[in-house]
């Protein structure tokens, strides 16, 4: 009779899950012994790297990923990235070893005391099989849970003595439809509202792109000829930021969003929560006379919206259907936004100047990953996303995503036979949370240009301090870090640039390098107003 391990690996093979990301310990070795030749294990040196790398791989490829962690210890280390995978809606099965059932009662070393609770808020399901022979079927159920809309991580705790036990039952391999439908019976009412609105406004979230809605969203926007905005804090765009109707990302706060909606009788939000706000800026959610409609495939997102009417449907399918139901508007076509100003020449490099220069030099089809918080709006202005699946960031606010995400995206690109360059734009602070990802970049010979914006501080926290009226906060300066030297230690090449006149040549060199290259750019540390120059300046005045 086959062992639990043999049946489990057969099932993973059947589900086309032959790549395992992770970081292991002794409690996982019984599962991984005699590792089949057609599988690969992508080792990371820290669990948060493994989860974030796999997350980005799933985002870029659309595949379901398997991450293998070391009992409670490894799972604990991975929590920040698991939270990000939850908000990124990533289909991810996490398996973690557990102490042998023989000793569990006496709580030996490496016991996961409560595997069902450890990751609980950020996984869709946690389970430890009641019997060894249930392990493969539990994996099948984990798969079915993880892929359904909204996709997300699930957690399986697997006792180490289960693997060599006999397993008589091969779980049925089941096809699980990953997306909801979007029917005319429900959405005709939304189409009517759009057709009858005087001045509608569309807001698209990243779930539109996750559900293959990119082209449908464009078709819908062009039918309605209205302004299109991105929902705040989205990990990936749902609509091309180069489109003439695109107007930018909504500010992530209550009062400014309300202002942005003024003059519109209908706001249709597709594939995003309503909304992810931070900081707090008191105000009304909507102007008087504005109706909000949300289309989401997440019942939870539906429930937590403070205003508006919600429809549960697949965002991508909804866009495509609405584009057929809505009549062509005869509104005047909108003019595209003015291009960003060319940054003025200064004796110090500014983030604006980095993005402006990169925009001139980067291949049009390059993919950007981003974790550089204080200058995100400038980045978006200079480097708007033109194509589906070509910009990835984090939707959670948990730092430690960007570096491994770049590697995960580059790996997905390589696996699909693509040759697109990945450009990773990183704050110097964010980079330090998951520095070990440079090792994966070197090992995979990943085709990435990392640009580290070295301002020697947590710049955005200085802006928050200003907004919150919290002066003299300690611990916001991070001087004395040389990221290029750290990256070299992990096997990546790189250099530092500090003069504006040297930047172009440095970026060209980095872009032409085959494999990972780390360009550290010393930039102006001026912190900017948190909600932009026109937004509220202080929380208490908001």
Ligand X SMILES: Cc1ncc(C[n+]2csc(CCOP(=O)(O)OP(=O)(O)O)c2C)c(N)n1
- Give the Cα separation of 100 and 266 in Å (integer): 58
Q: Which of 460, 507, 530, 542 binds ligand X (CB under 6 A)?
A: 460
The strands making up 422-427's β-sheet, listed across from edge to edge, are: 391-392, 367-371, 422-427, 448-454, 517-522, 493-497
Q: Which of residues 76-115 bind ligand X (CB under 6 A)?
A: 80
Which is closer to ligand X, CB of 79 or CB of 219? 79
Site string for ligand X, 409-448 (x = CB under 6 A): ------------------xxxx--x---------------
**Residue 30 within binding range of ligand X, rule CB under 6 A:** no
Which is closer to ligand X, CB of 292 or CB of 461? 461
Sole window of 6-14, 18-26, 383-391, 456-464 interacting with Mg ion (rule: CB under 5 A): 456-464
φ, ψ at 513 (rounded to 5°): -65, 135
**Residue 461 within binding range of ligand X, rule CB under 6 A:** yes
Sole window of 210-218, 441-449, 459-467, 528-536 interacting with ligand X (rule: CB under 6 A): 459-467
Q: Which of residues 360-379 bind ligand X (CB under 6 A)?
A: 372-375
* Shortest Cβ 153–ligand X spacing (Å): 17
Q: Which of 62, 248, 287, 397 binds ligand X (CB under 6 A)?
A: 397
Which is closer to ligand X, CB of 256 or CB of 400? 400
**Residue 230 within binding range of ligand X, rule CB under 6 A:** no
* Shortest Cβ 459–Mg ion spacing (Å): 5
**In sequence order, what are the residues at sequence separation of 6 or more whose Cβ sits closer than 8 angstroms to the Cβ of residue 445?**
514, 515, 516
Quick one: tokens of 470? Answer: 């919290």
* Shortest Cβ 8–ligand X spacing (Å): 33
* Shortest Cβ 403–Mg ion spacing (Å): 14
* Shortest Cβ 112–Mg ion spacing (Å): 36
- Give the Cα separation of 341 and 344 in Å (integer): 9
Q: Which of residues 14-53 bind Mg ion (CB under 5 A)?
A: none
Q: Which of 133, 301, 352, 428 binds Mg ion (CB under 5 A)?
A: 428
Sole window of 246-254, 284-292, 382-390, 451-459 interacting with Mg ion (rule: CB under 5 A): 451-459
Phi-psi region of 22 (alpha: psi -120 to 50; beta: other; left: phi over 0): left
Q: What are the distances in angstroms from CA 47 to CA 24, 73, 120, 239?
A: 9, 9, 17, 32
Tell me if residue 491 falls in helix, strand or coil: coil
Query: In terms of Cα–Cα distance, which of 480, 479, 484 is closest to 495?
Result: 484
φ, ψ at 464 (rounded to 5°): -60, -45
Question: Which of Mg ion, ligand X, none has residue 256 at its interface (CB below 5 to 8 Å by kind)?
Answer: none
φ, ψ at 300 (rounded to 5°): -70, -45
Buried b (16+ CB within 10 A) or exposed e, 489-503: ebebebebbeebeeb
Helix axes 4-14, 135-147, angle to 10 degrees: 30
Q: Which of 69, 398, 405, 446 binds ligand X (CB under 6 A)?
A: 398
Query: In terms of Cα–Cα distance, which of 270, 318, 324, 315 is closest to 293?
Result: 270
**Residue 400 within binding range of ligand X, rule CB under 6 A:** yes
Residue 20, beta-bridge partner list: 41, 66
**Residue 455 within binding range of Mg ion, rule CB under 5 A:** yes
Residues of this chain that bind Mg ion (CB under 5 A) = 427-429, 455, 459
Residues of this chain that bind ligand X (CB under 6 A) = 80, 372-375, 397-400, 427-430, 433, 455, 457-461
């Amino acid at each position: 009779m086959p062992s639990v391990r043999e049946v489990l690996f057969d099932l993973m093979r059947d589900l086309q899950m032959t790549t395992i990301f992770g970081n292991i310990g002794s409690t996982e070795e019984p599962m991984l012994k005699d590792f089949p030749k057609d599988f690969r294990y992508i080792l990371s040196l820290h669990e948060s790297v493994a989860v974030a790398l796999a997350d980005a791989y799933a985002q870029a490829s659309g595949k379901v990923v398997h991450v293998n962690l070391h009992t409670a210890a490894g799972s604990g280390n991975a929590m920040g990235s698991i939270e990000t995978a939850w908000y990124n809606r990533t289909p991810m099965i996490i398996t973690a070893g557990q102490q042998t059932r023989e000793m569990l009662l006496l709580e030996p070393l490496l016991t996961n005391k409560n595997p069902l609770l450890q990751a609980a808020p950020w996984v869709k399901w946690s389970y430890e099989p009641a019997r060894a022979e249930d392990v493969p079927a539990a994996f099948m159920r984990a798969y079915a849970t993880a892929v359904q809309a909204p996709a997300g991580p699930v957690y399986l705790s697997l006792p180490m003595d289960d693997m060599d036990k006999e397993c008589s039952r091969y779980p049925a391999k089941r096809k699980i439809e990953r997306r909801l439908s979007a029917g005319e019976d429900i959405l005709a009412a939304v189409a009517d509202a759009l057709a009858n609105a005087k001045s509608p406004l569309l807001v698209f979230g990243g779930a539109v792109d996750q559900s293959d809605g990119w082209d449908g969203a464009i078709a819908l926007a062009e039918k309605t000829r209205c302004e299109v905005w991105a929902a705040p804090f989205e990990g990936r765009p749902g609509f091309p930021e180069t489109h003439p109707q695109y107007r930018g990302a909504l500010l992530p706060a209550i009062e400014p969003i309300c202002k942005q909606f003024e003059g519109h009788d209908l706001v249709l939000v597709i594939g995003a929560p309503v909304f992810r706000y931070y900081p707090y800026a008191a105000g009304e959610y909507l102007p008087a006379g504005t109706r909000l409609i949300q289309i989401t495939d997440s019942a939870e997102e539906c429930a937590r919206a403070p205003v508006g009417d919600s429809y549960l449907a697949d965002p991508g399918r909804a866009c495509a259907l609405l584009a057929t139901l809505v009549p062509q508007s005869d509104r005047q076509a909108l003019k595209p936004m003015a291009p960003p100003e060319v940054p003025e020449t200064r004796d110090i490099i500014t983030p604006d100047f980095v993005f402006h220069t990169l925009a001139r030099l980067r291949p049009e089809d390059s993919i950007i990953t981003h974790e550089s918080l204080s200058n995100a709006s400038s980045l978006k202005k200079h480097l708007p996303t033109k194509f589906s699946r070509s910009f990835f960031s984090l939707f959670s606010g948990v730092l430690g995503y960007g570096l491994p995400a770049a590697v995960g995206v580059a790996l997905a690109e390589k696996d699909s036979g693509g040759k697109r360059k990945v450009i990773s734009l990183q704050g110097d602070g964010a980079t330090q949370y998951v520095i070990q990802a440079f090792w994966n970049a070197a090992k995979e010979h990943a085709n990435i240009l990392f640009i580290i914006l070295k301002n020697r501080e947590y710049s955005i926290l200085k802006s928050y301090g200003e907004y919150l009226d919290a002066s003299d906060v300690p611990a916001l300066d991070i001087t004395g870090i040389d990221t290029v030297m750290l990256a070299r230690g992990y096997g990546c090449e790189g250099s530092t640039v500090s003069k504006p006149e040297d930047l172009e040549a440095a970026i060209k060199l980095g872009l032409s390098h085959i494999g990972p290259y780390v360009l550290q750019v010393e930039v102006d540390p001026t912190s900017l107003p948190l909600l932009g120059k026109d937004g509220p300046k202080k929380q208490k005045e908001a």
